[in-house]
Structures are given as C-alpha cells and as structure tokens.
Structure 1
Amino acid sequence: MHLQGGVANGAQRPNAGVDVCKQHLDVCLGTEDQRVANDAGGWDELIAKFKGAGVDLVVLEATGSYERGLVCALQGAQIAVARVNPRQARDFAKSMGVLAKTDKVDARALRDFADVLARHKDRAKYITPMVDERRQALADLMTRRRQLVDMRVAEGNHLEHAAHKHSVRSIKNVLKTLDKQLEVIDREIDDHLDRHFGDQRTLL
C-alpha cells in the first residue's frame, strides 16, 4: 500500500510534519500547508485538526526547547509524535532530492519522513515517550485548556441563537467566566514551562 504526500491509500491513516520555530509552527498534513502560533492556542488548533483527520503520526525536529510544549500537548491528546534530530531530517530530505530549505519545505519533508516511520517495522522505537511528571502535568493543563475552549465555542454558538435578553445575559456571563479561566490556564501553562523547562527555553 502506497502513501502519497501524507495522504494514505486504503485504510492507512495520514501523517503530518511540523517545522518548529520560536514564534510559529509550519505544518504539512496531506497536501495542505498551514502556519499557527507556537503557543497553547496554536497547539490546540493542531490537535483539533490532527484528531479530525485521524492522523497516525506527527514528526518534528528536536530543537532543544521550542518543540517541548507541542510534544507534551500532542502526547496528552494521545497523538503519536516522533521527535527526530535535525541531521536525520536533513539527510532524509536530501535522499528525497529536496535541496531547498524553507519552513514550508521542511514541514513537507517531515511529513514524508512521517510516512516512512509510520510504516517502519521498528516504528515504536521512534515514538517519543512521555517520560516524567512535569510533561504529564503540562499535558493535563493542555487538556483542561481544550475543555475550556470547547465550552466557550459551545456558549458562543448558543449566543448566536439566543433571543431572550435573560438568556443573552446569562450566556455572556458564562463567556466572561470562561475567558477569565482561559487567561488563568494560559498563565499556568507559561509558568509551568518557565519553572520546569526554563533553561531549555533560553538555550536558542
């Protein structure tokens, strides 16, 4: 069975590649390219996208710090992720005849790398494990953030269809509460990253 451009033929599931920078993430899923912020909101957006597409494996490069939040968020969402070193990724791209180097091109090469690793007989050894409580705690925070975002979307939909002023007022109050909770959880995520991964965040 053959995979083309991250889109599987038959029953196989698609894979994705993510090129990581400090401020943003360039993503290739199938034939679609996308850029999102490298923060909790961007991670949530990708998780929703990957889950909706039934992604099998996500491959990204190990930068030493900037990918850590995304890796933990993906793991917390039960999405398999393989963190490869830059030399492996570049050697693979060259073997595929990819000589240009831009964020978008890198993401596409990583997607193709994901296609190969997903079918590899030793696939399991490439999957990045969740190794300690700090990462588990971050994954839990990200899960809670997704829950709050989902609730806010639901209340926003209710507001669009609310006709009675009391219903509108009630929904707006709930939205304000959810916005405050999102601000709190975002601060907790940032604090957790600074407290437990601060040294890595300042390396690059």
Structure 2
Amino acid sequence: MIEIESSASKDDKENYSLKTEEMEKRLKQSLGIDVSKSNLSLSLGFLNERLVKEFESRPDVSNDIKGYKVLLKWLGASVDPNVELLVVMEATGVYHQGIAHYLYEHGHSVCVMQSGRVKRYAQSLDQRSKTDALDSRMLSMLGLERNIRPWHPPSKELQELKGLSRERGSLLNDRTVETNRQGAIASSVHSNARALKRHKARLKLLNAQIAAVEEEMRSLIADNEELKRKLEYLTSIPGVSFVSAATVIGETLGFESIVNAKQLASYAGYDVVLRESGNFKGKTRISKKGNSHIRGVLHMPSMTCVRCNPTLKQFYNRLKPNKAKPLVALVAVQRKLLILMYTLWKNERFYDAEFEIKKQQKHEALAARDNNLINQSVS
C-alpha cells in the first residue's frame, strides 16, 4: 500500500513537471524563413524563461500568395499572441520581397538580413551540413539570440529608382560589348559591311535607351521634393554627377538599412581583408563581397574627384606614394567618397570644402584652451 502511494506520488510529480514545462513563459519567438524562387522553408523557434530554445517546423509552402495565406494561418495557430513574433529571412535578390511585404502589411515585425552577416553567424555554429530546413532553423535561432534591427519597406520611388539604375548598368554593359564587336569587325581583313551596319544600328538603339532611362531617373526624382532636395546634397560634391548619386541612392534604398560607415563599406564590398598567419604575410585588399553596382558606378567619379575635389585630391596624393599601384589609392578614394555621400545624406548638409580645415582649427583651439587651464591651475 505504501509502495503504491509512493508510485502514485511519483507519477503526479512527473505530470506536474510536464505541465509546468508546458506553461513556462515564452520570452521570445522567431520565425526563420529560408527563401527560394519556388518555396519557403519554415522553422518557428521559442525561447522560454529557462533560456531553452525549442523549434517547430512544418512542410514547405509555395512562394506565392497561396503559400503566404497558408503560412499566416499556421502562425495564427502556433505562436503566442502575448509575445511579439520576429520574422527573420535572408535577402535573396527579389525572391524575398513578396513574403516580406506580405507579413509586414499583416502587422508582423520583419528582419531582412544581409547575406554576409547570416553567413558569419552560420559559421559560428560550426554547422557543416546545409539544407533549406537547417538554414531556416539557423535563421530562427539568429532571431532568438540577437537583437536585430527591424526592416521597413522602402518607398515606391526608391524601389523604382533602383530598378532603373540596374537597367542602365545592364545597358552600359551591352553597349561595351557591341562597341568591342564593332571595332573587331571594322578592323578585320574580311569585314562585312552589312554586319557592321547592323552593329551600328544596335549601338544607336542602346544609346537611345540609356538616354531614355537616365531621363526617366531625372523625372522620377524631380517629382519627389524630399528625394530631390536630399539628392542635391550629394551632387554638391565636386566630381559626383546626378547619375552617380542617383545610382548610389537607388542601390542603398536611401541608406535605409545602414546605421554606420563601417556597415556601409561592408555592404559595398569596400571592407578591408587582411590575411596573415605566422611568417606568411598576405596582401591587404578589399573583400568585394558586397554590392558590385555601387563599386562600378563610383569608379569614374573617383577619377574625377582626384583632379577637382579639394578634399579627396589631397587624400589621394597622400596615399598614392605609399601604394604599389595607383589603383589601390583610387579604391580608397571610392570608399571615402561613398562614406562622404552617406554623411551628407544623413546630416542633410551640402559639401563644405573647408570642413577638414575647420575641424582641425577647432581641435587646435580646444587643445590651446586645455593648455591654458592646466597652466592656470599649476600657477
């Protein structure tokens, strides 16, 4: 009789323990979405008050409005309504945009992560296998462990500006190809006059389309007073044209997700990579693991700036003698130019050629004042 009561008491304790675990308060909940062109892989994670992470998954849903509705219904039945849900996904070109906008419009907090940051987090987990299910679980874990800045949809004008800048870049590449082909045909011993005529017609068409895209970019910005006003801060920099400034703004969507200069440099692939190990001394170079469109559009402005921009010309002349190749100093100018554009955009100020001089004079005045105070205290 005593053993039976003791056994019953033990069962009651186990049931009570299970109920207690089920009723534990959830501190955070995060939905990780691994996005592909056709499907969405899902993993829902919870962090309870014992700081234990639990995950719940379901079969993939299609990456279209039908799949979005299935996902929303599943979330309604699975998440704790008293705890804010954080949705984490990786930026994947255009394929993540549909689900990101859909969940944002339905009141969820969405975070769109840069691929480089997600990759570094995955490497910290020592996760050797790679599947869609594991990636969605990793994204969910990222949302539970880190404080991530929420994503907000960019304005329609900025998205359209980005599309136009990408189209212009593609047309420029096509024009370069056609120009090279035309030159090769013209220089050939057995040149074909009719083929050369067709190449010239295609080249004429590309030039007309490039001009049309640039005019559409100007019209788009002219119709938006705020965008027009803020873009004038960037074009006030000597050497920066309208097209260059508009392309940078379009590619960064108005620097919406950029919080500091270091993050911007990494986003554009200008972050410096140093490789050293023991006696091995590798070359220092930029990573180029970023937005190549920004680096491409800043090449010509940087060459102009080293001739006519008083700040960047002095910066280039100071770096050039210490670099093995002038191009290395020119890349440093591009990085500094990009950060300068970001600073003027955020502070809403025009370019000041004497800013560095004024800054140095201010520091010297503060140092002189401190020295006077020290001398007065000693005397």
Partner of 2:94: 65
Q: CA offset at residue 19 of structure 1?
A: 0.3
1:74 to 103, 109, 115: 103
What does residue range 98-113 of structure 1 map to in structure 2 within 5 Å? 98-113=127-142
Gap change, CA 1:11 and 1:112, over 3 Å in 2: closer
Native 8 Å contact 2:43 2:140 kept in 1:
yes
Alpha-carbon distance between aligned partners in 2 of 1:9 and 1:66, rounded to the nearest angstrom: 37
What does residue range 1-204 of structure 1 map to in structure 2 within 5 Å? 10-29=25-44, 30-52=55-77, 53-54=79-80, 56-117=85-146, 120=147, 123=148, 126-132=149-155
Alpha-carbon distance between aligned partners in 2 of 1:9 and 1:131, rounded to the nearest angstrom: 38
- For structure 1, list consecutive stretches of 5 or more residues without a partner in the other structure: 1-7, 135-204
Alpha-carbon distance between aligned partners in 2 of 1:72 and 1:14, rounded to the nearest angstrom: 20
Partner of 1:174: none
Native 8 Å contact 2:90 2:114 kept in 1:
yes
Amino acid at match of 2:38: Q
Q: CA offset at residue 11 of structure 1?
A: 3.6
- For structure 2, list consecutive stretches of 5 or more residues without a partner in the other structure: 1-22, 45-54, 158-379
Q: CA offset at residue 45 of structure 1?
A: 1.3
Q: SS where residue 31 of structure 1 aligns?
A: strand
Partner of 1:157: none
Gap change, CA 1:9 and 1:127, over 3 Å in 2: farther
Q: Which fold has the larger relative contact order, with Cα–Cα distance below 8 Å and residues 6 or more apart in sequence?
A: 1
- Structure 1 residue runs of 4 or more that deviate by more than 4 Å after TM superposition: none
Count of aligned pairs between the two proteins:
123
Native 8 Å contact 1:93 1:109 kept in 2:
yes
- Identity, % of aligned positions: 25
Greater C-alpha Rg: 2
Alignment TM-score, normalising by the size of structure 2: 0.30
- RMSD, aligned α-carbons: 2.4
Native 8 Å contact 2:28 2:144 kept in 1:
no
